[in-house]
A and B are shown apart, each in its own frame.
Chain A
Amino acid sequence: MKMNGARILLESLKREGVDLVFGYPGGTVINLYDELMNVREIRHILPRHEQGGTHAADGYARATGKVGVAIATSGPGATNTVTGIATAYMDSIPMVVICGQVPTPLIGNDAFQEVDMIGITRPITKHSFLIRNPKDIPTIVRKAFYIARSGRPGPVLIDFPKDVQIAQAEFKWPETIDIRGYKPNLEGHPRQVEKAITMMMAARRPVMYVGGGVILANAAEELTQLARRLQFPVTTTLMGLGSFPENDPLALKMLGMHGAYAANMAMTNSDLILAVGARFDDRVTGKIATFAPHAKIIHIDVDPTSIRKNVRVDLPIVGDTRDVLIKMLAELDKQADGIKQLHKNLTAWHEDVTGWKTKHPIGYKQSTTTIKPQYVIQKLRELSNDDAIMATDVGQHQMWAAQFFEFHQPRTLLTSGGLGTMGFGLPAAMGAQAAFPKRQVLCVCGDGGVQMNIQELATMVQNRLPVKIVILNNNFLGMVRQWQELFFDKRYSQTCMELPIDFVKLAEAYGAKGLRTEKPGEVEQVIKEALAYNGPVVMEFKIAREEKVLPMVPAGASLNEMVLNA
C-alpha cells in the first residue's frame, strides 16, 4: 500500500514494537505529527524541552531495556537533544532519536532551522542515517533499532527531511536485514572461558568488578549465581549498582573515587580481578600506575575497544556478558571438588575483606538538629518498595544515593555515570514512570541540577506520572563546593546559589504537591506522605549545607589513598 514517508516511519516504529515516544513538534516534523494523529498504537508524551524528552526516552530505555525513542524538529529542536544523546552514548543506552530536517533540496544552503545534525552528533552516536527516499525508511528504521540495541548499545540518529515525510512510497517491511560492516561478536570463546575458569579456581584473593554492561546485557541473575558459587566478593561501579544485591554478604558495594573502603582495598590487594561489563574508567581506577598491582585481570566485554584501553589485561573475553557467564556456570558444574577446595583457599581473603568492611563501613555522623542527606537516602530505602526505581541527578546527592540506597535489583538505578549530566534525573525519572505507571519512581536531585529541567514537572502533572522527587537542598553546587573546600582553600567561586528558591511553591505552581522540612525528626513523615500521594511530589529537604561525600580518592591518587574523614 502506498503512503507518505511520515506514515511509513510510524508504521515502521510500530513494527519495532514502539508504543511510547517523547517528542516536540516544529516546522520540519509537522507532517510527521499530523500522521501521528492517525496512529493510535503509539502514545506520545510532550515534554517541555527537547532535552527533557531525550533524557526521558533514555530513562525509559534504562528502566525497561527497550529502545527509547525521541523526536525533535530540525535546528534548535535537534540541538536541544545533543546533551541527551551524549548522555546516552557515554552510558551505552539504546535510543533512537528522530530529527526533522529541512527539505532535501535545501540541505547545505543554511536554510531556516537547518543544522548539520549528523555532523554535530557523529562522535556521540553509535551510528546515524539521513533518509533520502521514502522507500528506504523501513530498512533504515530496522537497522537503526538493531544497531541501537545490539552489541554494546547506544544512541542512533535518524535525520528525516520534510520532503521525504511528504513523498509517497510503498510500505514494505524487510524480513531480514544485513549490515555487512556490523557484526557484533556475542559468543564468548569457549577456550577463553576455560582459561578463565582455571585462573579463577587458582585465585586466593579474587574480586569481581562489575559494571553497567551486566545490566545492559540482562545478566544480573547469572552474575549473582557465579559470585555465590565461587564465593568471590563483588564490587560494582556506579553503573553496575543493582546487578548484585548489596545486602548480600559478598557485596563490597561501589568502588572508586567515592567507593567503599573495603571495595578499594580489595581491588588494590587482589590477585585476580574478574571484570565483567566494566571499562576501567579513571573514576574507578584512580592512578593507573598503582592500580591493582598484584592482580591478574580477566576482562569480559562485548566491545573489544573497552579491553586494554586503560589497563593491561591478562585474559580478554569478547562476547555478550550473559553468554560468557552462562558458559562459565556450565564449566563450573564440572568442578564440584575444585570449588570446595577454592572455598577453603578463600578463607583468609574473606577475613581480610570482613576486616576492611568493619574497620571503615560507609557511614556519616548523624545530627539531631540538621538533616543529614545520607539519612534521607537511608529513610527512602527503608520506606520504599524493593523494586522502586531511583533516578538521580549529578553531584553530591548522586554519590550519597549510590552509597546509602541499597540497590537490590538491576535497572533500579538510573544515573548519568559517563557524562555526568546535571538535569538528567528529573526527566529520566519521568521516562521510567511512563514505562512503569504502577511502580514507585524516586528522583534524588540537588537544588542546582533540578533547576536544569524543572519544566518537566508540567509534563509529569499533565500525564499523571507520580514521580517522587527529593531535593537535597544545600543551596550550593555542592560537589563543586566540596572540591573547592578540599583543594582550593574554601574559595567558593560561584558555587553558592544565594537566592533561595521556594520549591514548594514552585511545585504547586506546576500543579504538583510540595513538601518541605528542615527537621531531622520530620524526614520520615514527609517521605511517607509523599509516597502515599497519588501524583508527582516535590520533597524539599534543607540539609547540612557543607556536608561532604566521603570517602574520597582525590583525582590522580591511588585507590588505597582514600580520604576517610576530612
Chain B
Amino acid sequence: MHHSHTISVLVENEFGVLARVSGLFSGRGFNIDSLTVAPTNEESLSRMTIVTRGDENVLEQITKQLNKLVDVIKVIDFSDDSAIEREMALIKVTAEDESRAEVLRIVDIFRAKIIDVTPKSYTIEATGAPLKIDAILELLRPLGLKELVRTGAVAIGRGARGWKG
C-alpha cells in the first residue's frame, strides 16, 4: 500500500520555486524520501526528482497539488517500471589492517571507485539504482561507516521518447 514512488517535476528555473514545492510537501504532510533539483538543457527550466511514499490517494493528491503550482510546468509520475533511476553515494569507511582488503573486494563487486585513500580509511564513490546503493552500504556498514552522502535518486523514462527540457 505505502509504496515508494518517483516523480519528476519540470519547474520554472526561478527564485523560490524549491520553497514552493518543499512547502507543499511539508504543509500537507506528504513524505519526501529524497529530492534533487538542477537545471536542464533548457535554461529557463529546472527538473526535480522527488521520491515519496503514500497510498494511492495520497499519490494522486501529490500529483494534483504539484500541478496546481503556477511554477510547475509538468509532472511525470513514474509508476511501475517506466523509469531508470540512478543515485550516487560518497562513502567514507574505516579501512585498517585486514578490513582494507575486504573493502576493496566489495568496491570491486559493485563496480564502485575509491576516490580518496588514507592509512585509516577509504572514500568510495558508488553509482547505481538506489537499491544497489542500499546493498553496498549494508556490506560496508559492519566495517565501520564514518560518513555517508547520497545524492538522492534521479530518474529518466525508458524508451526513445524524451521530454524537452
Contact = CB atoms under 8 A, between A and B. Distances in A.
A487 interface: no
A76 B12 CA distance: 31
Contact of A181 (B16, B65, B70): B70
B61 A181 contact: no
Nearest to B19: A122
A466 B27 CA distance: 41
B65 A305 contact: yes
A182 B15 contact: no
Interface string B56-72: 01001100110111111
Contacts of B23: 122-123
A291 to B, nearest CB: 16
Contact of A126 (B11, B61, B64, B70): B70
Contacts of B57: 308
A126 B71 CA distance: 11
B65 A122 contact: no
Max count, chain B CB within 10 A of own CB: residue among A127, A180, A303, A308: A180
Contacts of B64: 304-305
Contacts of A147: 70
Nearest to A309: B61
Interface in A140-175: 147
B20 interface: yes
A216 to B, nearest CB: 16
Interface string B1-17: 00000000001100110
Contact of B73 (A130, A181, A309): A181
A180 B67 CA distance: 12
A130 B17 CA distance: 13
Interface string A122-137: 1100110010000000
A288 to B, nearest CB: 12
A37 interface: no
A119 B16 CA distance: 9
A118 interface: yes
A266 to B, nearest CB: 27
A179 interface: yes
Given A123-B27, A180-B73, A303 B68 contact: yes
A126 B65 CA distance: 12
Given A122-B23, A123-B27, A304 B67 contact: yes
Interface in B13-65: 15-16, 19-20, 23, 27, 57, 60-61, 64-65
Nearest to B28: A123
Nearest to A151: B68
A305 B66 CA distance: 10
A259 B107 CA distance: 68
A119 B12 CA distance: 18
Interface in B96-127: none
Contact of A305 (B11, B12, B20, B61): B61
Contact of B60 (A122, A182, A308): A308
Contact of B68 (A130, A180, A305, A308): A305
Max count, chain B CB within 10 A of own CB: residue among A119, A123, A147: A123
Nearest to B17: A181
B69 A181 contact: yes
A308 B63 CA distance: 13
Contacts of B72: 181
B15 A130 contact: yes
Interface string A105-129: 0000000000000110011001100
A373 B67 CA distance: 46
Interface of B: 11-12, 15-16, 19-20, 23, 27, 57, 60-61, 64-65, 67-73
Chain A to chain B: the 9 pairs with minimum beta-carbon distance, closest first:
A305-B64, A181-B73, A127-B70, A182-B70, A304-B64, A123-B27, A181-B72, A122-B23, A181-B70
18 contacts: A118-B16, A119-B19, A122-B19, A123-B23, A127-B70, A130-B16, A147-B70, A181-B11, A181-B70, A181-B72, A181-B73, A182-B70, A303-B68, A304-B67, A305-B65, A308-B57, A308-B60, A308-B61
